[in-house]
Structure 1
Amino acid sequence: MFVSPILKVAGLLPLMVLLLASCNSVDVIDYKNNQPKLVAESFFDGQLRAAGVLKDRSGKVIRYFTADIKAYWKEGVGTLEEDFVFDDGEKQRRVWTLTPNGDNRYIGTAGDVIGESDIQVAGNSMFLGYVLRIPYGDGTIDITIDDRMYLVSENVLMNESSMSKFGVNVGQLLLVIQKVD
């Protein structure tokens, strides 16, 4: 039976795409041996302070912000009360709830997060993905967030977030979270 070369290549295309996608994938488990070890119940406990920038899809910084975070655990469930102040004076509040869900996993929820976030921790890292509903024009828009956090010292955590809509990059968020004595 004759199979045209075009059909042969077309038949291999899904496999090639899958292989290429897996080559670029970084998983939280890649950091399992990194130190210092991130223990959510320890780092996210007490008063925290964050500072960061929001970038548009071209990489240009379009906003600056700070946040005060009150973090605590009650009956094994974590709460992060985040109060943001942006450079234009806008204020936002987000309250996260972190519920343990097995070994080094949590379920994260917040009022402006659609559904639940699967949070994974390994070594010095915490990865989470979620859909955030944000104000846009006269309505709202849902943005997919890929958060990656890295504990760089006992009291300092770096966070980078990729934001996308329909799989297309729409921006980035970079911030540092520090424990306050």
Structure 2
Amino acid sequence: MVIFTHRIITSLSIITLVLTITGCSHEQSPKQDTNTMTTFDLVDFFSGTTIGSGFVQDRSGEIIRTFEVVTTGDFNNDSGTLKEVFTWNDGEIENRTWTLSRTGETEWSGSAPDVVGTALGKIKDDKLRWSYTLTLKVGGKNVNLKFDDQMWISRTGVMVNHAKFSKFGLHLGDVVVSFRK
């Protein structure tokens, strides 16, 4: 009887865990009035210099680091480079240079030295959504984190970037940045 009860509890625990994980993965997108949307134009927004401020938060929502970022974009229609210089609140300076290419009417691909493989981006209305794996140094070790990176541009020209990062499918935290020209 004890073994039977233990098996039932174990089975129910596994089912609950699976349902919880799959339930959390369903993502809802906000409904928007299509008459007020701006079309996201990557080349237009990132050509020249943009500045941004942001933070990294852990999975509980606690802000663990803040930063300022300056980007410099140099584009020739369907391709170009985007240089990012991050200045972190602890004084660390981080540089990343993206090489970006339009691969379709609404699709982009990107690469950078610390990106595993190719970043894939898709524009829909006023949003650009990237998917990529980034290698970061954590405690002296390289760790690959999966990023679901969404950018939204407002009619006023402010761009908000919200990137969720995960490892083995588990959400670890978020990066939120606000950019302006």
TM range (shorter): 0.7 to 0.9
Change (3 A) 1:56 1:112: same
Name the residue aligned to 2:141.
Answer: 139
Is 2:110 aligned against 1:104?
Answer: no
Higher RCO, Cα 8 Å, sep 6+: 1
Structure 2, gaps ≥5 residues long: 1-14
Is 2:84 aligned against 1:82?
Answer: yes
Shift of 1:155: 2.3
Equivalent residue for 2:47, pick from 30, 33, 45: 45
Name the residue aligned to 1:9.
Answer: none
Distance in 2, matches of 1:118 and 1:75, equals 18
Asked whether the equivalents of residues 118 and 128 of structure 1 are also in contact (C-alpha less than 8 Å), the reply is: yes
Name the residue aligned to 1:174.
Answer: 176
Distance in 2, matches of 1:153 and 1:48, equals 16
Shift of 1:31: 6.8
More displaced 10-residue stretch of structure 1: 63-72 or 31-40 = 31-40
Change (3 A) 1:134 1:169: same
Name the residue aligned to 2:130.
Answer: 128
Name the residue aligned to 1:8.
Answer: none
Backbone CA RMSD of aligned residues: 2.5
Equivalent residue for 2:58, pick from 43, 56, 59: 56
**What SS does structure 2 have at the residue aligned with 1:82?**
strand
Distance in 1, matches of 2:140 and 2:70, equals 28
Asked whether the equivalents of residues 109 and 120 of structure 2 are also in contact (C-alpha less than 8 Å), the reply is: yes
Q: Aligned partner of 1:57: which letter?
A: R
TM-score by structure 2 length?
Answer: 0.81
Structure 1, gaps ≥5 residues long: 1-12
Shift of 1:128: 0.6
Asked whether the equivalents of residues 43 and 77 of structure 2 are also in contact (C-alpha less than 8 Å), the reply is: no
Q: How does 1:13-52 map to 2 (within 5 A)?
A: 24-26=26-28, 33=34, 35-52=37-54
Query: How many residues get paired?
Result: 162
Q: Deviations over 1:7-64 (max 9, x none)?
A: xxxxxx9xxx7xx76x934579x87946111111111111100100100121100000
Runs of 4+ deviating beyond 3 Å:
25-28, 30-34
Shift of 1:71: 0.9
% identical aligned pairs: 27
Name the residue aligned to 1:163.
Answer: 165
Shift of 1:122: 1.2
Change (3 A) 1:107 1:62: same
Q: Aligned partner of 1:124: which letter?
A: D
Name the residue aligned to 2:120.
Answer: 118
Distance in 2, matches of 1:163 and 1:58, equals 13
Q: Deviations over 1:49-108 (max 9, x none)?
A: 010010012110000000110012036312110000000000101111110111110111
Shift of 1:154: 4.3
